[in-house]
Amino acid sequence: MAAKYGKIFMALTLLGREFMELYPINLKLTGRRCAVVGGGTVAERKAVALIAAGAQVSIFSPVLTAKLTGLQQDQCLTWIPRSYEIGDLDKFFLVSCATDQPEINRQAAEEARAAGALVNVADAPEISDFYVPAHIAHGDLLITVSTGGGSPALARQLKHKIAEDFGPEYGYYLALVAKLRLEMKERLATSKDREKFWRETIDHETLDLLRAGKFSEAEERIRHAVSCAWPESSNGSRGS
């Protein structure tokens, strides 16, 4: 693979660190059954992200954090108020093993994988199918940072740095553009026109308007841009 012959690969080799490229995917979890084993701080972080993604979350743990207890009271998750037992994990799409007992995590991971689930193990990257990246979500906009398990603290720090530059206005911007994009498909004749338009339209003035909460002005600005660039496009001509 190209990356393996690049400068970064050479540097990693010099540093004596093995390099494993991960396959980046964004999972759709709406309505999927997911389990978290453990109810502490780490389990909480994993469960909250799963719930945010619309998963149907079950937690196996004798104790829950205050936040998880609140979520359980609000019926955002199902709590099985006891220690994990063999046989618990046979019906899940994804399982996160996050107790403070390494042997329990391992056992749960083995069972879940044998049952066909995707498995994450909080204290054992080497037996995990996937890692949870640090992330920023603004509506449909999802920015993730992965260090391949090398330094979660660095992933977290980079996330905070990126969040300073990409605030909620980018989420509003995306929502607006996604809506207008469908309309522009009708209005701009060819895919080349559309490509040119969207590359030129992503501008800071629209973002400033959104940052200031001026949503309709921002929408108007983009609509105006398309009428100026393609006055003839309003005749409804359609193309590829």
Report 89-148 residues binding ligand NAI (CB under 6 A): 98-101, 104, 122-123
43 near ligand NAI, rule: CB under 6 A: yes
Give the Cα-Cα-Cα angle 161, 128, 78 (nearest 5 degrees): 85
- 137/178 with CB nearer ligand SHN: 137
35 near ligand NAI, rule: CB under 6 A: no
- Which stretch in 13-21, 34-42, 137-145, 189-197 sits in contact with ligand NAI by CB under 6 A? 34-42
Q: Choosing among ligand NAI, ligand SHN, none, which partner's interface includes residue 56 (Cβ < 5 to 8 Å by kind)?
A: none
Place of tokens 């980079």: 158
Closest CA to 222 of 237, 232, 213, 210: 210
- Which stretch in 2-10, 59-67, 191-199, 226-234 sits in contact with ligand NAI by CB under 6 A? 59-67
Query: In this structure, are residues 47 and 24 in contact, taking their beta carbons and an 8 Å threshold?
Result: no
SS3 30: coil
Which residues does 67 contact at the CB level (< 8 Å), separation at least 6?
Answer: 44, 48
Task: Round to whole Å and give the CA distance between 159 and 108.
Answer: 30
Query: In this structure, are residues 122 and 96 in contact, taking their beta carbons and an 8 Å threshold?
Result: yes
Q: Choosing among ligand NAI, ligand SHN, none, which partner's interface includes residue 38 (Cβ < 5 to 8 Å by kind)?
A: ligand NAI
Q: Choosing among ligand NAI, ligand SHN, none, which partner's interface includes residue 147 (Cβ < 5 to 8 Å by kind)?
A: ligand SHN
- 152/167 with CB nearer ligand NAI: 152
DSSP 231: G
SS3 88: coil
Q: Choosing among ligand SHN, ligand NAI, none, which partner's interface includes residue 63 (Cβ < 5 to 8 Å by kind)?
A: ligand NAI
- 48/177 with CB nearer ligand SHN: 48
Query: In this structure, are residues 49 and 24 in contact, taking their beta carbons and an 8 Å threshold?
Result: no
**Contact residues for ligand NAI, defined by CB under 6 A:** 37-43, 60-63, 83-84, 98-101, 104, 122-123, 152
